[in-house]
Amino acid sequence: MPYNLLKGKKGIIFGALDENSIAWKTAERIHEEGGEFVLTNAPIAMRMGQINQLAEKTGSQIIPADATNLEDLQNLVEKSMEILGGKLDFVLHSIGMSVNVRKGRAYTDQKYDFTTKGWDVSAVSFHKVMQTLYQAEAMNDWGSIVALTYMAAQRTFPDYNDMADNKAYLESIARSFGYFFGKDKKVRVNTISQSPTPTTAGQGVKGFGGFISYADKMSPLGNATALDCANYTVSLFSDLTRKVTMQNLFHDGGFSNTGVSNEVIEKFSEE
């Protein structure tokens, strides 16, 4: 049910690949809440996904950009302000990739060229996006920037591999840049630590099905879906959360604060 929470607000959404992706669901919800945006993704991801359908559905334009390339980002920010007719109110960073995971390399046997590439795409790109926005003075006062993360930044999930390190770095960037963006421009920066979600990216992790099932049994409220995450992101882009910044916000049905659940105990008691 729409509340017009984002009426008149404008922004950029990174990372909508297909209808399973959190960025896709968030774009749909922002559109329903009256927000306007430009969609962007890396050219290769755009060829793989169905972003044109989303653009059509939400009346949005697409600007291809490699989020690790500063020229691409400068062009994206400049063009977005032209298209949307002014400064931006929100930005969603929903990008992550591990070449080591894709190529089946173990955490103890990384190819460091792959590590560097994944780190650049998954974490440093967030700094590059924010630095570009900051230097272009592209954000309105009380704007909001959100990146998506996962609890492997705090706890070890063996098969999450080097993405865990990338997410830890991403969260640190949010805090560090969040200070300067808040102090100098009144812009808030937060990360959402989401439940494991069956997106195209998520399903690349080994044993992902068991992972989702375990998290669901551990969480008092069950796993948060991509749509739940979209709704939470909308609240962070709205004026209702103006003083929330530099936070890593767990959106996981209570998983992050649960030591063990009755369901998990029962499962192991059966043996």
The CATH code of the domain that includes 184 is: 3.40.50.720
- DSSP summary character for residue 205: S
Is the full-model pTM beyond 0.95?
yes
Task: Taking each helix axis as running N to C, give the angle between helix 125-135 and helix 163-185, from 0 to 180 degrees, rounded to the nearest 10.
Answer: 10
- Strands of the sheet containing 248-251, edge to edge, are 61-62, 36-40, 10-14, 88-93, 139-149, 188-194, 248-251
* Active site residues per annotation: 150, 160
Is position 185 within any domain? Answer: yes
Rounded-to-integer distance, Cα 47 and Cα 169, Å:
28
Q: Would you state the structure tokens that stand for residue 58, as one six-digit string?
A: 């939400």
Is position 159 within any domain? Answer: yes
Is position 2 within any domain? Answer: no
H or E stretch including 78?
helix 70-84
CB 32 within 8 A of CB 57: no
Is position 3 within any domain? Answer: no
**66 lies in which domain range?**
10-269
Is position 182 within any domain? Answer: yes
Instruction: Detail the residues annotated as belonging to a binding site for NAD(+).
Output: 15, 21-22, 95, 167
The amino acid occupying position 246 is M
Rounded-to-integer distance, Cα 131 and Cα 113, Å:
24
Collapsing DSSP to helix, strand or coil, 189 comes out as strand
Task: Write the CB contacts of 270 (distance below 8 Å, at least 6 apart in sequence).
Answer: none
Per the structure, the count of domains in the chain is: 1
Question: What residues pair up with 37 in beta bridges, in sequence order?
Answer: 11
Closest to 226 in 3D by CA, of 123, 94, 96: 94
Collapsing DSSP to helix, strand or coil, 242 comes out as coil
Relative to beta strand 88-93, strand 61-62 is: unpaired
The total number of residues written for the chain in this structure: 271
Is position 119 within any domain? Answer: yes
Instruction: Detail the residues annotated as belonging to a binding site.
Output: 15, 21-22, 95, 167
Collapsing DSSP to helix, strand or coil, 204 comes out as helix
Is position 1 within any domain? Answer: no
The amino acid occupying position 15 is G
Is position 209 within any domain? Answer: yes
Question: pLDDT of the chain along its 271 residues, tens only?
Answer: 789 999 999 999 999 999 999 999 999 999 999 999 999 999 888 887 799 999 999 999 999 999 999 999 999 999 999 999 999 999 999 999 999 999 999 999 999 999 999 999 999 999 999 999 999 999 999 999 999 999 999 999 998 999 999 999 999 999 999 999 999 999 999 999 999 998 876 666 677 788 899 999 999 999 999 999 999 999 999 999 999 999 999 999 999 999 999 999 998 886 5
The amino acid occupying position 123 is A
